[in-house]
Amino acid sequence: MRILGIDYGDKKIGLAFGDTEARMAVPLDVVLNRGEETIQMFADRARTEDIDLIVVGVPLATGGHHGPEQLKKTRAFIAALISAVSIPVKEEDESYTTSQSIHLQMEEGVNAEEDALAAMLIVQSYLSRLNEEV
């Protein structure tokens, strides 16, 4: 199954690709959040790239730079995305993905944008949970 991972932000949205057969995720890129235009771009991308599932990170642990308002915005984005695509959209806890992505950049020398790395970590978390359920 081909997965598009999304790290939603008010200004920027990180993207990653995951595959359930390979059981891995890779960072893709970061796009500007342009509201409805961005939702449509994701719907088109899901169709043209044969994506089977979209996984969106949600800030379930509040504190730091995430609070209940960000969770509300992210869930509104998810609702709009669900209306625009014909594939399942799942939520995955994104707690601590920002700090983990910074660690990957600084300590491990990973050369990818922070938001795309966060999206990769979201997909990897989803894949790990899938493997545990099997």
Q: Is the confidence at residue 43, as pLDDT, over 90? A: yes
Higher pLDDT, 102 or 26: 26
* CA-based nearest residue to 117, from 43, 34, 39, 15: 15
Domain ranges of the chain: 2-113+121-133
pTM for this entry: 0.86
* Structural contact between residues 131 and 29, judged by C-beta atoms closer than 8 angstroms: no
Distance of alpha carbon 11 from the chain centroid:
14
Alpha carbons 89 and 92: distance in angstroms, whole number: 10
Residue 47, token pair as written in the block: 């169709």
Third-level CATH fold of 2-113+121-133:
Nucleotidyltransferase; domain 5 (3.30.420)
Model confidence at 128, pLDDT cuts 50, 70, 90, reads: confident
* Structural contact between residues 9 and 46, judged by C-beta atoms closer than 8 angstroms: no
* CA-based nearest residue to 42, from 10, 72, 87: 87
| pLDDT at residue 110, as a whole number | 56
